[in-house]
Amino acid sequence: MKNILPTLLFLLSFLSIKAQETPEPNYRQAARFSPTKMAKMVHSTSVRPNWLQKGNRFWYQYKTSTEGSKYYIVDAYKKTKKPLFDNVKMAKWLSEITKDPYEAKHLPRFNFTFTKDEKAIRFYVTSKEEVEVKEDKEDAKKDSIKAKKKKKGKQKMEKKVYHLEYRLGGNRLTILGTKKKKKEPWKKWANIAPDSSIVLYSKNYNLYWMNKENFLKAVKDEKDTTIVENQWTKDGELNYSYGGRTYGKTDKEKKKQEKDKQGIYGYWSHDSKKFIYTRSDARHIEDLWVIHATKKGRPQLETYKYHMAGEQDFYKSEMLVFDIPSKSKKEIVLDSTVQQSINIYSHPWKKSYRRDEHNPTKLLSKKGKIYFSTTSRDRKHLDIHVADISSGEVKTIIKEHSNTYIEQRGKSIRLFNNEQEILFWSERDGWGHYYLYDTNGNLKKQVTNGPFHIDRFEGINEKTREVFFTANGIAKNQDPYYAHLYKINLNGTGLKSLNPGDYNTGISLSDSNQYFVSNYSRVNTIPKSELRDSNGKLVMKLEEADLSQLFAAGYKFPEPFKAKAADGITDIYGVIYKPYDFDSIKKYPLIEYVYPGPQTEAVNKSFSQRMDRTDRLAQVGFIVITLGNRGGHPARSKWYHTYGYGNLRDYGLADKKYVAEQLADRYDFIDISKVGIFGHSGGGFMSTAAMLVYPDFFKVAVSSAGNHDNTVYNSWWSETHHGIKEEKDAKGKIKYKYMIDKNQSLAKNLKGNLLLATGDVDNNVHPSGTIRMVNAFMNANKRFDFMLFPGSRHGFKNREYWFWRKADYFSKHLLGKETNFVDIVEMNRDKALKR
């Protein structure tokens, strides 16, 4: 006993010391799960059905580490799943035709086009053989002068291309041609009428048109000098144009492309006789600029219109109807005394449309009506209108009002029953639900009811009067963010779950509404896919993701958790990510990855191989968590979603802090004295705010592209989610007042370590927001760190580089270990050396 006692005391002492140990940064393990390496370990995780037009059939591609890519065709009605072709035979045929070696597991990724009878597929493959570039005879004749001037010399060569056809069930490939697929630049500018009789486009900021004959010439050769172009309008100008796109282009590029044909987006009447276009006047909106310092030659200026929160002027929109036969134009008269935005409702596209088919955007109505909505600038009023396309008469049929903002996620209305009824989505009772109206605006029935949120319309069966939709929160005792497919009768009866289970699901419903593909998983399960019918009956299991290589590399699933918000009542849902070499007797720093919403929350609900912000960072030696907060995701109640209205800086921080404290109480391995936080965009804004509102709790932050000063951010996001006040002066003129707390007002509170970053050509969240934050810290005599990403927009170009700089920063300030290498060896290690 005397000999054992010293040993026990030593072990207890050792374990006590070890319990206080902070893990060593494990860069090698984090490097093993880079996006490049993940792409080699995880392939397909869901079935993306390509629905065909004939029958309830679809094809899909699925890739695994054991068989490579395989292609299947499924007949839901016959309950059959067959290979689209035999991979071994396809490899043999391709090898014989192209003289290049092919193998069943390593076929190229095919870009199929089905023939109209859907009995054959067509595709292109490029061989290694080089052949002389040959001009088309027609092109050579047209350009005979240029051909004569052509200097003799080395013949230009190109890779030989085969255009192939495979008849389903056949035993060979047919060569359709050996010319490479021609580029189709006309697709970027041509808006073709549903009957193909006329093509509209933009040029010099105005509307142009050409008939079918001349368009076919343009398809063959855009430089054909015999093409007749017709100018329809003459009053278009920059920032008050008919189509075209200048956003994201430098001033030099805009000038160069001014006379090029560009696209015009609008809505066609189903008979092709009318074209409806909403024209926006932004000439009075002030300019904003970014400078492209890394472009070749001189740095280039990019000037663009940008409406900031609280500015008095607003975009002015008008709705125009172009009559195709008469080539006339008229305006639908709208209320020009109010600041509002316009949205025209379109006819839904079929899921079975073919990629090679002409698929124009059409009006919702087939009967000469224009259904559209207007939303007030303060986003508290949404009105649904219908305009007669011939007379221009406008009638308001539905009025929606809220004291916060009206969520636009469910903004589409559905017209059915020979255009006698409307299905409308609203949060008027505090939850997202469907309401049935007649087309005169009379409410007939609230179709769905209860404490749950309808997220998306999926389909409607007019014969059975059933509507299909995805929703959150119907199934109790599971994560309310898990989405499932449901159906309900339009009289409000017969609510039924069609793919139940304690999973998050993503679905694709066939155009017939008879079958759907359901992909389902949680963050801690292997993704699976199945086919079900419209009653929810399982037709067949389709696929299970192959994660064998991922597990072999040491991967372990994260863990979902539930905690309480700072009010002690509201449930908050999140995910905890641990190092794969996790040691429960060590003390790990805690890092929160955040995005405040209110459009969404940065919390995965399904398995994801995108790991940089969560799993991979944890491998360095941290516990990483993601969690929601009141005022976040709209998939819950309107109360939850709009909790931050009027307090857009601080609304989610108390929940982030309180949940971290609860987790530290649950788990001894969390070191609550070392808490870090990071995020991008709204998450960049939130992570910096956390450091300044709770400076004694959050010790380290990495904040990228943050909208730290929302007065220099776009009006849509901040005016919507924070609110803007309308006030009338003595003359009845409306003034807009916008007051919001800014991060820089709290700069004096900084105590910990903060790294700020921005892209220098970010034309979404302008770099000035971050620069103002930098200036505030300097004026407050604070030490902090700052990085600029040259040539980067809102999404940084070099994401791998940014990952390692974040890892360095958290390692230095939370683990107490700083790398001494100038090179990021984890990036260089896998690069092939150039000789």
CA 583 to chain centre: 37
Residue among 323, 343, 319 at smallest CA distance from 332: 319
Please compute the mean of the pLDDT values over residues 610-628 and round it to a whole number: 95
Q: How many secondary structure helices (H) and strands (E) does the chain include?
A: 17, 44
Residues 6+ apart with CB under 8 A from 418: none
pLDDT in tens, 235-266: 999 999 999 989 999 999 999 998 899 999 99
Helix, strand or coil for residue 452?
coil
The pLDDT assigned to 9 comes to 54
Provide the b/e sequence for 327-352 (b: ≥16 CB within 10 Å). Answer: eebeebebeeeebbbbbbbebeeebb
Residue 698 CA: distances (Å) to CA of 548, 679, 773, 809: 38, 14, 18, 14
The pLDDT assigned to 10 comes to 56
Instruction: Quickly state the pLDDT bin for 7 (edges 50, 70, 90).
Output: low
Give the class (CATH, top level) of 18-40+556-828.
alpha beta
Report, in angstroms and rounded to the nearest whole number, the Rg of the chain calculated over CA atoms.
30
Please compute the mean of the pLDDT values over residues 446-455 and round it to a whole number: 97
Task: Give the whole-angstrom CA distance, residue 229 versus residue 204.
Answer: 13
The region of weakest confidence among 407-411, 504-508, 655-659 is: 407-411
> Does the pLDDT at position 333 exceed 80?
yes
The region of weakest confidence among 129-143, 338-352, 429-443, 813-827 is: 129-143
The pLDDT assigned to 250 comes to 95
Quickly count: other Cβ atoms within 10 Å of residue 540's Cβ. 12
Strand order in the sheet with 421-426: 414-416, 421-426, 433-438, 443-446
What token pair was written down for 293? 């310092």
Let me know if 174 is exposed, middle or buried by CB neighbors in 10 A (0-12, 13-18, 19+).
middle
Task: Give the whole-angstrom CA distance, residue 260 versus residue 239.
Answer: 16
What token pair was written down for 374? 């207007």
Going from N- to C-terminal start, the domains of the chain cover 18-40+556-828, 50-138+155-184
Residue 625 CA: distances (Å) to CA of 89, 325, 565: 48, 61, 15
Please compute the mean of the pLDDT values over residues 441-462 and round it to a whole number: 96
Please compute the mean of the pLDDT values over residues 404-409 and round it to a whole number: 86
Residues 6+ apart with CB under 8 A from 391: none
**Residue spans of alpha helices (H) in 377-486:** none
Task: Give the whole-angstrom CA distance, residue 667 versus residue 332.
Answer: 63
Task: Give the whole-angstrom CA distance, residue 690 versus residue 677.
Answer: 8
- Beta-sheet pairing, 57-64 with 50-51: antiparallel
What token pair was written down for 230? 């017709």
What token pair was written down for 781? 């005599």
Please compute the mean of the pLDDT values over residues 506-526 and round it to a whole number: 97
pTM, two decimals, is: 0.93
Task: Give the whole-angstrom CA distance, residue 815 versus residue 354.
Answer: 54
Residue among 624, 703, 38, 827 at smallest CA distance from 819: 827
**Three-state SS annotation for 640-658:** HHCCCCCCCCCCCHHHHHH
Task: Give the whole-angstrom CA distance, residue 28 versus residue 554.
Answer: 12
The region of weakest confidence among 221-225, 383-387, 757-761 is: 221-225
pLDDT in tens, 388-400: 999 999 999 999 9
Task: Give the whole-angstrom CA distance, residue 301 versus residue 599.
Answer: 32
> Does the pLDDT at position 145 exceed 50?
no
Task: Give the whole-angstrom CA distance, residue 446 versus residue 789.
Answer: 51
Task: Give the whole-angstrom CA distance, residue 496 versus residue 232.
Answer: 52
Cis peptide before 101 (omega within 30 of 0): no
The pLDDT assigned to 20 comes to 61
Strand order in the sheet with 191-192: 191-192, 198-203, 206-211, 230-231
Please compute the mean of the pLDDT values over residues 572-587 and round it to a whole number: 96
- Hey, what long-range contacts does 225-229 have (CB within 8 A, 24 or more apart)? 229/203
Q: What mean pLDDT value characterizes the chain?
A: 92
The pLDDT assigned to 2 comes to 54
CA 706 to chain centre: 19
For 657, phi and psi rounded to 5 degrees?
-70, -45
What token pair was written down for 128? 């290694």
CA 744 to chain centre: 30
Residue among 268, 267, 272, 186 at smallest CA distance from 227: 186
> Does the pLDDT at position 77 exceed 50?
yes
pLDDT in tens, 185-242: 888 999 999 999 999 999 999 999 999 999 999 999 989 999 999 999 999 999 999 9
Task: Give the whole-angstrom CA distance, residue 383 versus residue 373.
Answer: 5
> Does the pLDDT at position 8 exceed 60?
no
Residue among 352, 351, 327, 331 at smallest CA distance from 342: 331
Helix, strand or coil for residue 376?
strand
Cβ contact 400:432 at 8 Å: no
**Residue spans of alpha helices (H) in 99-161:** 137-142, 144-149
Q: Count CA within 13 A, CB hemisphere, residue 243.
A: 27
The pLDDT assigned to 355 comes to 76
Which is more confident, 83 or 129? 83
pLDDT in tens, 662-714: 999 999 999 999 999 999 999 999 999 999 999 999 999 999 999 999 999 99
Instruction: Quickly state the pLDDT bin for 411 (edges 50, 70, 90).
Output: low
Quickly count: other Cβ atoms within 10 Å of residue 367's Cβ. 12
The pLDDT assigned to 646 comes to 92
What token pair was written down for 601? 């929350």
Please count the residues of the chain: 835
Provide the b/e sequence for 375-384 (b: ≥16 CB within 10 Å). Answer: bbbbbbbbbb
